[in-house]
Amino acid sequence: MTQPEPHAPDPQTAVPAFAGPAAAEPGDRTHHELRTVALGLGYDGVPIVTDLDLEIAVGRITVIVGANASGKSTLLRGLARLLTPQTGVVLLDGTDIATIPGKRVATVLGLLPQQPLAPEGITVGELVGRGRHPHQGWFRGTTAADDAIVADALVRTGTLDLAARRLEELSGGQRQRVWIAMALAQDTDILLLDEPTSFLDVAHQIEVLDLLLELNRTRGTTIVMVLHDLNLAARYADEMLVMRSGGIIAAGPPVDTLTVDVVRSAFGLDALVIPDPVCGSPLVVPIGRFHPAPTAASAILGKANLI
């Protein structure tokens, strides 16, 4: 194994070596566990996330919500080992993720950051094809299986007809779908996404979230994503993590976590929380200063039970 970075485990408390997906072919559905122990993350010595013990639900969709600067993106970067922990550890299958070679991590865990960067002039097909790089050895080029996975990712995201175009020629929404296609082409068991619906209109937001739901239900992909829209988060999440000031103040199924008190605590917002008429998940209805009468809203909604 290469020299551990950014830090080596204590030999007296070392965790088992990472088993990884050795020799696994793309599409292998081996499931992997991701958790944190006393995790602290921050920038330039300033703590953002503190003392966090977290176990990501395997094969489920976990959505992280919270106000701006609550630590959502920082947590996601820490899980993807893009940030060195100030304290504690991120464990992948029981092994400190910092000690696992990056290419091996990339065959298990994929990340779509909030503002991804790409080389100037790269085409859509080339960018999505880069999702296959972790699965290719030094002397193994692109295979027919790689091409099929890339084509499937393009079709699933509605970007196949854009394959020959340069990324900078596309609209913000088109680019976002291309980045999601690259993440799908990476074909990992764990997929982390930071605001995957950014720049998308409502129809494409639903399309992308439906795609992620399908990926989870048909392949068992563990999905962790940050969303700003509480109602979409509640509709698509199996588990929700509500963050405030670098910690988690509520965790569990949406019906248990997205309550009037939690919304007020996390966002400083007075709201009604009623059943979504489409799927029954919690639906947050802000009250606001100019619509302060929840009794009127309750009457319009047929006196729906508050959650």
Q: Which domains does the chain have, with CATH numbers?
A: 32-270 (3.40.50.300)
155 Cα distance to chain centroid:
21
Residue labelled with tokens 């563990």 = 222
Reply yes or no on whether the pLDDT at 278 is more than 80.
yes
Write out pLDDT tens, residues 179-200: 999 999 999 999 999 999 988 8
Going by their DSSP bridges, the two strands 109-112 and 190-194 should be labelled as: parallel
**Structure tokens, 57:** 């639900």
When the pLDDT of each residue in the chain is averaged and rounded to a whole number, the result is 85
Q: How far apart are CA 258 and CA 264, in angstroms?
A: 10
**Structure tokens, 179:** 């980045």
pTM: 0.82
**Structure tokens, 257:** 């976590």
Q: How far apart are CA 252 and CA 241, in angstroms?
A: 7
Q: What is the DSSP string of 129-192?
A: HGGGGGG--TT----HHHHHHHHHHHHHTT-GGGTTSBGGGS-HHHHHHHHHHHHHHH--SEEE
The kind and range of the H/E element at 241 are strand 239-244
Q: How far apart are CA 170 and CA 162, in angstroms?
A: 9
What confidence tier does 165 reach under pLDDT thresholds 50, 70, 90?
very high
Residue 136 · residue 142 · CB < 8 Å: yes
Q: What local confidence, expressed as pLDDT, does residue 135 receive?
A: 82
Mean pLDDT of 118-123: 93
